[in-house]
Amino acid sequence: MNILVTLDKNYLHPLKVMLASMFINNPGQVFDIYVIADGLEDEDFKNLEVFAAKKASFIHRVFFDDRVFDGAKASRYYSKAMYYRLLAAELLPKDLDRILYLDPDILVINEISELYNIDFEGNLFAAASHGDRMGVIDAVNRIRLSNFKADLYFNSGVMMMNLEKMREEIKKEDIFSYIEDNAKGLLLPDQDVLNALYGHKILEIDDSLYNFDTRNFIKDFIASKADKNMDWIIENTVFLHFCGRSKPWHRGYFGYFSALYKHYEKLISIYLA
């Protein structure tokens, strides 16, 4: 199973928590984890490799030629890191046909395989939307982003990538020019670009299963989604996504899933040391 992560040094710790939860809840599964990183040292990679090896999985450092980004506007707003996900098909080995991209602020609490083997139905990606039911958030994004063709605004924290199709259809020149034209209007640059240019070629997957925004727990519970209570989540949800500024690895965080997150954080040292 191929996994893609992109990170800088600040996310090394949460990445390990995410990987630990993935290993523990997908017993017997071998993972090939592709890492596109900024500012990580050889020692950091060595450390990740040893960590993954404890669960018979592999870390692959993705090397690429910086000339890939020739033509990208040198902006004081964004670094080249924002292109990593969008250009994944170009940066990754050409023999990979699909990969699961995961943000590091995620816990994997159930088995991934069903999502991993999804039928893309010709789409470039499969991803979930956090748009509310009334569609207000999506309407705002439709106005905010020029060229927005999709019905939904997708969250890019969990994405199944159809690499074969991406190689055919994603042109980096389109991305570079979209950013050049819209630079100041982009709130979440790569997610915005993804939605604006490719939103209509994303297969929607259920966010309560595959991209559960942990901030929504109380709201959803009060809204009487009785079938999506804590029992349902622990039994069914695959990815808990700790969206927002307040992160569960910060001291003093006390969101509803804080005990669970910190439990996995502790497991790193006990079981994977």
- Is 247 one of the binding residues for its own copies (CB under 8 A)? no
- Is 234 one of the binding residues for its own copies (CB under 8 A)? yes
Nearest to 268 by CA among 20, 11, 6, 9: 20
- Is 233 one of the binding residues for its own copies (CB under 8 A)? yes
- Considering only 18, 36, 109, 194, the residue that binds its own copies (CB under 8 A) is 109
Give, in order, the Cα–Cα distances in Å from 251 to each of 91, 123, 246: 35, 40, 10
Kindly tell me which of 133 and 251 has the beta carbon lying closer to its own copies. Answer: 251
- Write the interaction track for its own copies spanning residues 3-42; mark x where CB under 8 A is met and - where it is not: ------------------------x---------------
Nearest to 113 by CA among 43, 27, 199, 46: 27
Place of tokens 């990445």: 15
Are β-strands 125-129 and 154-162 bridged in parallel, bridged antiparallel, or unpaired? antiparallel
Q: Residue length, the chain?
A: 273
Are β-strands 154-162 and 212-213 bridged in parallel, bridged antiparallel, or unpaired? unpaired
- Considering only 144, 209, 221, 272, the residue that binds its own copies (CB under 8 A) is 221
- 98 by DSSP, 3-state: which? strand
Kindly tell me which of 203 and 260 has the beta carbon lying closer to its own copies. Answer: 260
- Considering only 45, 262, 268, 272, the residue that binds its own copies (CB under 8 A) is 262
Fill in the DSSP letter of residue 15: H
Least separation in angstroms between CB 110 and its own copies:
9
Kindly tell me which of 172 and 262 has the beta carbon lying closer to its own copies. Answer: 262
- Is 254 one of the binding residues for its own copies (CB under 8 A)? yes
- Is 258 one of the binding residues for its own copies (CB under 8 A)? yes
**Token couple for 111:** 């088995």
Helix residue ranges, H only, 110-188: 113-116, 136-144, 163-169, 172-182
Which spans of this chain sit near its own copies (rule: CB under 8 A)? 27, 109, 217, 221, 226, 229-231, 233-235, 251-254, 256-260, 262-263, 265-266, 270
